[in-house]
Amino acid sequence: MADCLFCRIIRREIPAQIVQEDEHALVFRDIQPQAPTHVLVIPKKHFGSLLDTSDADAVLLGRLQAAARRFAAEAGLSSFRLVANNGRGAGQSVDHLHYHLLAGRAMQWPPG
């Protein structure tokens, strides 16, 4: 998507603090962190939300989880929250599938 904020970050048209990248995923710091550690894990392939994926995307979705695990391990995190908001009602503000990895403070339950 030409005008997608996260696609533009992937193409390096918009700067971001990228902390990890491979051929499938990009991990970068959130510009409005909600925890001492707050990064976004996004696929390089555009999906508007998790509902736009299919069973054929299962491997890619697993690679996003693996990217989150690698970041957590490299950052020395033993405790973190990984969440995907799906749709405006759930708090999704950018229409590109992404996971928030948050750590460094106590998390509340239930989260919403």
pLDDT tens-digit readout, 65-80:
999 999 999 999 999 9
The CA distance from 75 to 45, in Å, is: 25
CATH code for position 57: 3.30.428.10
- List the beta strands (DSSP E) in 1-112: 18-21, 25-29, 37-43, 81-83, 99-103
Q: What angle is formed at CA 28 by the lines to CA 109 and CA 6, rounded to 5 degrees?
A: 100
**24, 38, 46, 98: which is the annotated catalytic residue?**
98
Whole-number percent of the chain with pLDDT over 70: 98
Domain count, the chain: 1
Task: Name the token pair of 38.
Answer: 């707050």
Partners of 20 in beta bridges:
27
Task: Name the token pair of 5.
Answer: 């904020």
98 an active-site residue? yes
Could you read off the pLDDT of 31-67 as tens digits, one per residue? 999 999 999 999 999 999 999 999 999 999 999 999 9
Range of the domain at 24: 5-103
**Model pTM score:** 0.94
Residue 26 lies in a domain: yes
